[in-house]
Structure 1
Amino acid sequence: MAETQWLTGPKETSFFVAVYSPSTPAKAVVLFLHGFGEHIGRYEAVFPRWTEHNIAVVTFDQRGFGRTALDVEHKSKDSSYGKTSTVDHMRDADFFLKWAREKFPEVPVFLLGHSMGGALALAFPTRSIAWPSRESVKSLSGVIATSPLLRQAVPASKIQRWLGGKLSVLSPWTTIPAPVKAEDLTHDPAINEAYLKDPLILQKGTLKGLSDMLNLGEHISDLDYQDWPKDLPVLLLHGTADKVTSHLATEKFFNEVNTSVKNYVPFEGGYHELHNEPDGVREKVIDECISWVEARIDPVKTRASL
C-alpha cells in the first residue's frame, strides 16, 4: 500500500502525493507523472510491482487533475480542474524530483511518465535553462515514457489549433469538452468502464492547459529532441494500435534523439494504456521498465557523480 499525504508545492499549491516504498532499503527511486485527465489512483496495481524489486515510486496528482484539483477538503483555493500550464508542470516536476531525492537519498533517480506525463518526462531534460534546474536534470539516471503525447493519433485541424491558441490567451481558464473514448484506452472492458465511472476524471480541460499540452508535444518532436543530454538514457514504449497518441511520433523521436543509450519497445496491437492491457501485456510492460531501470543501477552509478 502507498503512503499518502498532502504536500505544499510550487505556487503554494496543495498536492495529493503517494509514495510506494519497498520493505527493504530502496536501490532506486522513480518519479511518475500521470496522463491528461487522470490521477494516480489508477496506478495502484502497477507500483507495488516496482517495490517488489526494491525500487521506490513517488507520484502525485498533477496540478489541475485528480484530488489536487477536486478534493473539497484539501485542495488549494486557486486549484480547479484543468487549470495548469507547461511551465507549471515543469516547475512541479522539478519540485517533486528534488523531494524524491531527499526522501530516498544516495540512490539513482528516474523519471517516468505516461501519455501527457510521458511528453512532460521527455521535455524535462531539454528545458534545463528555462524551467527545471540543471542540478535536477543532471541527477537523473534515466527517463521512461509510455505512449507519450508527442502528437495525437488523429490530430486536430490547424484551424482548431489556431483558434484554440488565440482563445487560450484571451481566456486561459475557460473549460471546454476534451473527451477521451474509453474504448480506445485498453482491450480490457472492465478498465474502460471504471474509467467512465471514475468521479475524479472529468472529460474537459482548459484552453490554456490543452493548448500548452499539444504544443509541448510538437516542440519535443520537431525541435527539443536536439537538446537531449547525450549521456542520459531513455526508454520508450508504445502500442502500435494506439488511437489516442501517435506511436509513429514516438518512433520518430527514438530515431532522431542523440543519446548514448536509447531503447524503443513497440507493442504490436497495443492500445494507449499498455499498463492496463490484458493477456499478460501489462506484466510485460511493467517488467520491461523495471528491467531497464535495474540495468542502469547495477552497479549503482548516478549521472551526478560523473
Structure 2
Amino acid sequence: MSLREVEFTSSNQRDTIYGWIYEPVRPARGIIQLIHGLGEHSRRYLPLITKLLDAGFVVAADDHAGHGKTAMSSGIWADVGDRADQVVVDDERSLRSIVRERHPDLPYVIFGHSWGSMIARGLVSGDSDQVDGLILCGIAAGIHGIENLLDRHALAAETDTAAPASEAYVVSMFDGFISRYEPGSGPTAWVARDPDVVADHAIDPLNNFGAPMSVRFLRGFVDLYDAANAADWYRSIRADLPVLILAGDGDPVTNFGEGAYHVANQLARSGHPDVRTRVYTGFRHEVHNEPEIRDEVAGEIIDFASRCVER
C-alpha cells in the first residue's frame, strides 16, 4: 500500500482539510471515495479500506471541516461555517479533483455513510456523469425527529448562528434513537449492536461525537438532509447510475430499515433500474463495522464496485 496525505483549503476559506489517498501495490482497477459520517473521522474505516485495497481499489477519504484531524488542527469542532450544506459537498468535490489528477482514467465510485450518505447524494446531484457507482451505507432517510419533531421555524429564526445550538434541537433530532433497545442502553447504543464498537466510538479522541453543534451547522445538516431526500434529487442523477443501499433494521438513522427501502423504491419509480438494497436483520447503524457481518458487508461493497468499474 502507498499512503499519501493531502491537504486543501475548505470552501469555507477557514479550514485546512486533511485527506488521504490509499493506493494498492498492484495496478488499480478503480477508485472509491469514502465519505464519513457525523462526529467521526475517516480512519474509523481502516478495516474496510484495507479490504478495498486488497481488492485493487484506490481509496480516497478526508476528515470533514469540524471533524477528525481537520478539527484537531483548527480547534473548531462541529462547525463548518456558513452554508454548511454546500461547504461539505464542495470539499468532497475538491478531494475528487485531487484524486482525479493522480488517476484521471480510473472508474470512480462514491461511498457515503450516514451524514456521508447525504453528502454523497449532494455530490452526485447534477453531476453523476463523473461517477460510475454510488454506495449509500447507513443511509440517512426517514429520520423521525428531523421529519416530525424538529422546530424548523425556530431554528431558522436563530440570529447568533455561530453559537452552539440549543440542546432542545439536538434532543428532537435524535428522538427515539434507543427506544427499541434493551433497558439501560447507552445514548450511542444505536451505533452498533456490538458493545466493543460502541465503546471504541465513545473513547476515540478524533471522534468527538458529543461536541456541541453550532446553529449554522445544524441548519446546514437539516438542509442537506432535506435536499438528499427530496423528490427532485432522484431526477438529478442519471438513469443508469448503479446504486447500492446498505442498512441495518435496528438503525434509527434509516428509520429501522424503512428509509433504505423507501429510497430504493423511489429510485425504481423514477426510472433508475440498477438498485440493490441490503438491510441486515438485527444490526444497527454501522453495518460495515459490526464484527459478525463486516466481512459480508465488505464483500457486498467490493462486488458492487467491481461490477461498476467493469461496465
Instruction: Identify the residue that residue 301 of structure 2 maps to in structure 1.
Output: 289
Work out which of the residue numbers 160, 165, 168 in structure 2 matches 1:171: 160
Classify the secondary structure of the residue corresponding to 2:60. Answer: strand
Classify the secondary structure of the residue corresponding to 1:70. Answer: helix
Return the TM-score normalized by structure 1. 0.85
Instruction: Identify the residue that residue 181 of structure 2 maps to in structure 1.
Output: none
CA contact (8 A) 1:151 1:217 kept: no
Instruction: Identify the residue that residue 249 of structure 1 maps to in structure 2.
Output: 259
Distance 1:124 1:151 in 2: 20
- Residues 9 and 284 of structure 1, relative CA distance in 2, 3 Å threshold: same
1:230 equivalenced with 2:239 (yes/no): yes
CA contact (8 A) 1:6 1:16 kept: yes
- Residues 190 and 4 of structure 1, relative CA distance in 2, 3 Å threshold: farther
Moved more, 155-164 or 180-189: 155-164
Shift of 1:97: 1.2
Distance 1:216 1:208 in 2: 12
1:189 equivalenced with 2:228 (yes/no): no
Distance 1:260 1:286 in 2: 23
1:210 equivalenced with 2:218 (yes/no): yes
Deviation per CA, 1:49-81, whole angstroms, max 9, x where unpaired? 00101111000001121111122xxx4xxx721
Counterpart residue identity of residue 284, structure 2: Y
1:261 equivalenced with 2:252 (yes/no): no
Instruction: Identify the residue that residue 272 of structure 1 maps to in structure 2.
Output: 285
Runs of at least 5 residues in structure 1 that lack an aligned partner in the other structure? 129-133, 300-306
CA contact (8 A) 2:141 2:253 kept: no
Counterpart residue identity of residue 142, structure 1: G
Distance 1:45 1:215 in 2: 31
Instruction: Identify the residue that residue 22 of structure 2 maps to in structure 1.
Output: 20
Counterpart residue identity of residue 192, structure 1: V
CA-based RMSD of the aligned residues comes to 2.1
CA contact (8 A) 1:187 1:278 kept: no
Shift of 1:156: 6.6
Distance 2:236 2:253 in 1: 26
Instruction: Identify the residue that residue 221 of structure 1 maps to in structure 2.
Output: 229
Distance 2:261 2:70 in 1: 33
CA contact (8 A) 1:154 1:243 kept: no
Deviation per CA, 1:105-157, whole angstroms, max 9, x where unpaired? 2110111100000111123222x3xxxxx4xx312101101012133254475
Classify the secondary structure of the residue corresponding to 1:20. Answer: strand
Distance 1:220 1:201 in 2: 24
1:104-123 to 2 correspondences below 5 Å: 104-123=103-122
- Residues 174 and 2 of structure 1, relative CA distance in 2, 3 Å threshold: farther
Moved more, 261-270 or 109-118: 261-270
Deviation per CA, 1:192-249, whole angstroms, max 9, x where unpaired? 1121112223312121222221232233323222322112111111111103332322
CA contact (8 A) 1:24 1:54 kept: yes
CA contact (8 A) 2:35 2:111 kept: yes
Counterpart residue identity of residue 188, structure 1: D
Instruction: Identify the residue that residue 61 of structure 2 maps to in structure 1.
Output: 59
Counterpart residue identity of residue 188, structure 2: A
Amino-acid identity (%): 22
Instruction: Identify the residue that residue 7 of structure 1 maps to in structure 2.
Output: 7
Distance 2:254 2:217 in 1: 17
Distance 1:159 1:61 in 2: 27
Counterpart residue identity of residue 293, structure 1: A
Counterpart residue identity of residue 218, structure 2: L
Instruction: Identify the residue that residue 85 of structure 2 maps to in structure 1.
Output: 86
Counterpart residue identity of residue 17, structure 2: F
Distance 1:4 1:171 in 2: 39
Distance 1:2 1:150 in 2: 36
Moved more, 82-91 or 205-214: 205-214
Distance 1:32 1:99 in 2: 14
CA contact (8 A) 1:4 1:16 kept: no
